[in-house]
Amino acid sequence: MTEYFKIGKLVTVVGLTGELLLKHTLGKKTSLKGLQAIFIEDKKDSFLPWFIESTKIKSEEETYIKLEGIDTREAAAKLTQKEVWLPEIDFKKFAAKTSPVSLLGYSIINEGNPVGEILEIVEQPHQLLCRLDIKGKEVLIPLSENTLRKIDHRKKQVLVTLPDGLLEIYL
């Protein structure tokens, strides 16, 4: 099964021809050149492809995107506030190595003990929260200067020292 990573959200309609503004967390300016489709979650774990007609950079975190078959402001409005996902292979091409979102799929290791795989990154003003699923329960692990020890990109691991009792709160 293909793994999908959330990269952002379609935030608003631009103009009258169905163009949308994608606010992304890829960590660098990108026109998504070469990307053929984005995916929108239709139902839980069911992703529908939307083929890209054209794209244009707006800013560091925003890209204008025109999708095939979306030619009016009204049609585009139905897609606003939808989260945008990319398959793992495309995600790796477009995410900056230094971007927090590039940690998706990495394992959290607490003082030598594996905790779980990072499923989502939630950016907060003073820290990142990594969402994991442990024994069917959602767990949020903070990454800050107090907890983060090292990121090993080769092994795809995030080494942390968590406060005593943090994991027990969730489990």
Q: Where residue 62 sits, what CATH number does that domain have?
A: 2.40.30.60
The domain boundary residue, chosen from 66, 95, 124: 95
Instruction: State the Rg of the chain over Cα.
Output: 18
The domain boundary residue, chosen from 30, 64, 95: 95
Rounded distance between C-alpha atoms, residue 2 and residue 86, angstroms? 10
Residues 87 and 148 grouped into a single domain = no
Residues 111 and 28 grouped into a single domain = no
Q: Is residue 100 part of a domain?
A: no
Residues 80 and 131 grouped into a single domain = no
Residues 117 and 67 grouped into a single domain = no
Q: Is residue 166 part of a domain?
A: yes
Cβ distance 54 to 72 under 8 Å?
no
What is the domain range of residue 127? Answer: 105-170
Q: How many domains in the chain?
A: 2
Residues 133 and 83 grouped into a single domain = no
The series of mean pLDDT values per 10 residues for the chain, 171 residues long, is 85 96 91 94 84 95 96 95 92 85 90 91 85 91 90 92 90 81
Residues 76 and 127 grouped into a single domain = no
Residues 81 and 138 grouped into a single domain = no
The per-residue pLDDT for 1 is: 61
**Helix (H/G/I), strand (E/B), else coil: 135:** coil
Residues 53 and 116 grouped into a single domain = no
User: Model pTM?
Assistant: 0.74
